[in-house]
Amino acid sequence: MMHWQQRSKMHWLKDGDGNTKFFHLYASAWKKRNHISRLRDDAGTWKENETDIQGILLQYFRNIFASSQPATADLNAVLSVMQPRVTTEMNRSLADPFTEIEVKQAVFGMYPFKSPGPDGMPPMFFQKFWPIIGNDVTCSVLRILNDHILYRKMNHTHVILIPKCESPKTVAQLRPISLCNVIVRIASKCIANRLKFLMDHIVSPTQSAFIPGRLITDNVLVAFEVNHYLNSSTQIKGGCAAIKLDICKAYDRVEWAFLRGVLLRLGFHHRFVNLIMLLVTTVSYSFMLTDNTLVFCEATEAQIGTIRLILNDYERASGQVINFQKSSMVVGGHMPELRKTQLADILGVSLVPRHDRYLGLPARGGRSRGALFQGIRDWIWDRITGWNSKLLSQAGKGEKRIHWVAWQKLCQPISEGGLGFRGVKEFNQALLAKQGWRILSRSDALLSRILKARYFSHGTFWDAVAGRRPSLTWRSIIRARPLLEEGCQWAEGQGNERGCWRWRFHRLGRFTGALPTLESLGKRKADIDPLCATCGDMVESIKHTFLHCPFARQVWALSCIPWRSLSVWDQGVVEWVVQVGHEISVMDRARFFTLCWIIWQKRCKKLMENQCLDPMCAWREAEVLLENYQRVKRSVRIHV
């Protein structure tokens, strides 16, 4: 089963069926898609012989991986404008010896079924048999990290080629991926785990991908906002330009001397730099970094010419190559088309009316939102129809069906009889509200600063209005703001602290005293009998429901929780829960909360559906629920 899960590459499927046709089909599809049957050479001639294809591949990547031998003057010209960002405290934390705990965290933080390297073992093997091989693996990794000892054979890699498109015709349409040994992956992940907490202070705020606390969607939304401004604003004087640059093989062409120089210039300690270069220089890596860059500037000859000079210097120093044939420029404002074309010619890029996509997503709005996101709908539909034709029986492929259950019912939680599907509209509102929350909580982020400058420069997010000719993204965020208002509250600061917005969230959940007991409903002027529906003897308060009601007392008597620990209820329900939690064991705490949940659930069944109450059945139901929870919690399941 694990073999077919790994081969099928179904990373989104966490808990599937058994060894079914589903995995077999996907594994076969992957094998067929990755097979290279023929390629075109530089002259445009098709080559189908295996030896000829190997020659084309070797020549192409030999040119890419070759050094351009950048001159020292070119390196210094680029490095001289960089400012140090790594502080002494950061270097001190990076220089501490790596520990066994860090190695273990790196091992178990890896995806189990990643493709193996020359060692032939996926990370799952190391995770599964860690009690046996853990000490040896830890010693090998710490020898690399702390002693800087790495043998070249240990860092040997397999390079595989993944098609970028259907039926690739040239080598440029194949993406090289290096698969290294797991030992080297663990060492690299240990370094990355230390660095990730410092990246927010080191990397420019205009780079939003791969940085904890930042989202790549911020850059997409910024591009959307700026493109909307360029295409719709009539206030631009002189013109502004947005240049989309395409970098060929973004990482593979980076010169090692340039990489070392950048790290040292940023302020990293030379010992830490030597460790990184040890991993890099002993093998060729292929990191899949984004190669789409957006540059915004004034549409003048001086600024466009300066950008061209900067790009030329950067190419000579780093070894990277700008693909000007795939790059493009948009010019907004009142400017003759001839003038726009002249500016594009200075940079050597094509002039386009708009940038339709950026990082794979739409980069501009339109009157029809359906047409704007049609590609997403088509992609989902293609996957669904594929399942329909390949995996359903003949009876299941019928077009005329009876809808037995409403969609709203299916979107309800499983515990309430639904299937737990997400309502598309509600989920979209939640995601938009999340963007609003990021504007509030990350006011220093690039997207937040741009939106504030454009729409509420003299106010707050709560007071902002859609404004004149707003973008689709801003208009959508504003529409989701009421949902955000329902889930936030203002937290006052103390002393010199500033107040801040926070989510309304209670660790104790329903044990906040907000239970809709009959007594509470009566206090809120509800026309209802406040007597307990279970016993009919006393007013149904929270204390009576969970402690003094005969049904509750019988349930507690069946449990192993001492009554003396439960009977102390001098204040509110929160204090009672805390007091009981202090006096009982950890296992009994889980049983206590489970029984409270069952007592309340049975009370609701009695009140709403007039179901009979059986203390023994209630206690058994709680024990089964707790046992299932503990079993799932103890189980060690490798997710695909």
| pLDDT tens sequence across 562-612 | 877 787 777 777 778 777 888 888 778 888 888 988 998 888 888 888 888
Which whole number is the average pLDDT over 427-440?
A: 88
pLDDT of residue 462: 85
- Cβ neighbours of residue 309 closer than 8 Å, sequence gap 6 or more: none
In whole angstroms, give the CA distance from residue 547 to residue 567: 7
Highest mean pLDDT among 25-29, 185-189, 353-357, 496-500: 185-189
Q: Mean pLDDT lowest for which of 114-128, 342-356, 498-512, 514-528?
A: 498-512
Q: Which residue in 405, 384, 408 sits closest to 396, CA to CA? A: 384
Give the number of other CB atoms < 10 A from CB of residue 281.
14
Residue 240 has φ and ψ, to the nearest 5°, of -130, 155
pLDDT of residue 129: 92
Please answer whether residues 26 and 42 qualify as being in contact, where contact means their C-beta atoms are separated by less than 8 angstroms: no
Q: Which residue in 318, 249, 315 sits closest to 287, CA to CA? A: 249
Give 1's pLDDT tier (boundaries 50, 70, 90). very low
Higher pLDDT, 414 or 617: 617
Q: What is the amino acid identity at position 519?
A: E
Kindly report the average pLDDT of the chain as a whole number: 78
Please answer whether residues 285 and 251 qualify as being in contact, where contact means their C-beta atoms are separated by less than 8 angstroms: yes
> Is the model's pTM score more than 0.85?
no
In whole angstroms, give the CA distance from residue 158 to residue 284: 10
- The per-residue DSSP string of 93-162 comes to HHHSPP-HHHHHHHHHTS-TTPPP-TT---HHHHHHTHHHHHHHHHHHHHHHHHH----GGGG-EEEEEE
In whole angstroms, give the CA distance from residue 148 to residue 282: 12
Give 197's pLDDT tier (boundaries 50, 70, 90). confident
pLDDT of residue 510: 47
In whole angstroms, give the CA distance from residue 228 to residue 472: 9
Higher pLDDT, 226 or 91: 91
**Three-state secondary-structure class, residue 433:** helix
| pLDDT tens sequence across 258-316 | 888 989 999 999 999 999 999 888 764 433 334 567 788 888 888 888 888 888 888 88
Which tokens hold the place of 586? Answer: 């950890």
pLDDT of residue 105: 93
| pLDDT tens sequence across 474-501 | 888 998 888 888 776 655 444 444 445 5
Higher pLDDT, 553 or 248: 553
pLDDT of residue 391: 57
pLDDT of residue 386: 64
Q: Mean pLDDT lowest for which of 6-20, 123-137, 599-613?
A: 6-20
- Name the percent of the chain lying above pLDDT 70: 78
CA distances (Å), origin 81, targets 75, 232, 467, 599: 11, 35, 39, 68
Q: Which residue in 453, 455, 452 sits closest to 465, CA to CA? A: 455
Please answer whether residues 241 and 299 qualify as being in contact, where contact means their C-beta atoms are separated by less than 8 angstroms: yes
pLDDT of residue 348: 86
Q: Which residue in 402, 144, 443, 414 sits closest to 274, CA to CA? A: 144
pLDDT of residue 420: 82
Give 193's pLDDT tier (boundaries 50, 70, 90). very high
Which whole number is the average pLDDT over 209-231?
A: 80
pLDDT of residue 190: 94
Give 398's pLDDT tier (boundaries 50, 70, 90). low
In whole angstroms, give the CA distance from residue 502 to residue 473: 23
In whole angstroms, give the CA distance from residue 75 to residue 263: 13
pLDDT of residue 414: 76
Q: How far is CA 151 from the centre of its chain?
A: 35
pLDDT of residue 9: 55
- Cβ neighbours of residue 582 closer than 8 Å, sequence gap 6 or more: none
Which phi-psi region, left, alpha or beta, contains residue 268 (left: φ > 0; alpha: ψ -120 to 50)?
beta
H or E, element range at 533:
none
**Three-state secondary-structure class, residue 637:** coil
H or E, element range at 13:
none
Q: Report the 3 state secondary structure along 73-84.
A: HHHHHHHCCCCC
In whole angstroms, give the CA distance from residue 121 to residue 564: 56
H or E, element range at 405:
none
Higher pLDDT, 230 or 387: 230
Ordered by start, the domain boundaries in the chain are 215-250+289-367, 424-503, 518-634
Give 636's pLDDT tier (boundaries 50, 70, 90). very low
**Three-state secondary-structure class, residue 550:** helix
Which whole number is the average pLDDT over 417-443?
A: 85
Task: Indicate the Cα dihedral angle 223, 228, 231, 234, nearest 10°.
Answer: -130
Which whole number is the average pLDDT over 551-559?
A: 88
Q: Mean pLDDT lowest for which of 60-64, 436-440, 493-497, 566-570?
A: 493-497
Task: Give the side-chain half-sphere CA count within 13 A for 98.
Answer: 28
Higher pLDDT, 179 or 512: 179
Which whole number is the average pLDDT over 224-240?
A: 72
Residue ranges with strand state E in 173-226: 174-180
β-partners of residue 161 are 176
Give 251's pLDDT tier (boundaries 50, 70, 90). very low
Q: What is the amino acid identity at position 597?
A: W
In whole angstroms, give the CA distance from residue 341 to residue 351: 6
| pLDDT tens sequence across 31-59 | 666 677 778 887 778 887 778 887 887 77
β-partners of residue 40 are 46
Whether the CA torsion 13, 15, 17, 19 is positive or negative: it is positive
For residue 618, is pLDDT > 70?
yes
For residue 460, is pLDDT > 60?
yes
pLDDT of residue 496: 43
For residue 455, is pLDDT > 50?
yes
pLDDT of residue 368: 63
